[in-house]
Amino acid sequence: MGVRAESSRSGRQQPPEPEINVTPLVDVVLVLLIIFMVIAPQMEHGERVELPAVFQPDPRSKSKLDPIYVTITGAGAVFLEKEAVPDLGSLGERLRAIRAAEPERRVVIKGDSSVRYGRVREAFALCQEVGFAGISLQVSQRGGGASAEPEEG
């Protein structure tokens, strides 16, 4: 009561204190963060394939240039980087153009584990025919690096 009585006696009212409610802003930012966390991995890796697994992978090679990704899906569709390619003939043309521009780049083939091996081998042979020196098959690591077969003693 003392504060109100003083302000009415002096004839001036104190200006209201501004209050900012940041709760809606925090909610919106968190929703955007979750959306970007879900979408970003899909944008980075291109078409999703289930890679075959190996027990003893080679050590990672260091390359100055980013590799060219050729992806073969379980349905047999072929992608160069993230763009669909209608057939292996047009894939060869596109790879030749890339090789002419950047001869040092290497190729990484990502083939779905359910796709016919012959289809992956055709893509591998095409990359060799184009003239790429470094061609790799991308696989996922299985197990802890131990042999799959039990030892006999």
pLDDT tens-digit readout, 100-137: 888 888 899 988 888 888 888 888 888 888 888 788 88
What is the CB neighbour count within 10 angstroms for residue 88?
16
Alpha-carbon distance 78 to 111, whole Å? 9
Task: Identify the pLDDT of residue 33.
Answer: 94
Task: Identify the pLDDT of residue 31.
Answer: 95
Nearest to 65 by CA among 103, 97, 94: 103
pTM: 0.55
Q: 22 vs 45, which has greater pLDDT? A: 22
Q: For residue range 38-94, list pLDDT tens digits in order.
A: 888 777 666 777 777 777 666 665 555 788 889 888 888 889 988 888 888 888 899
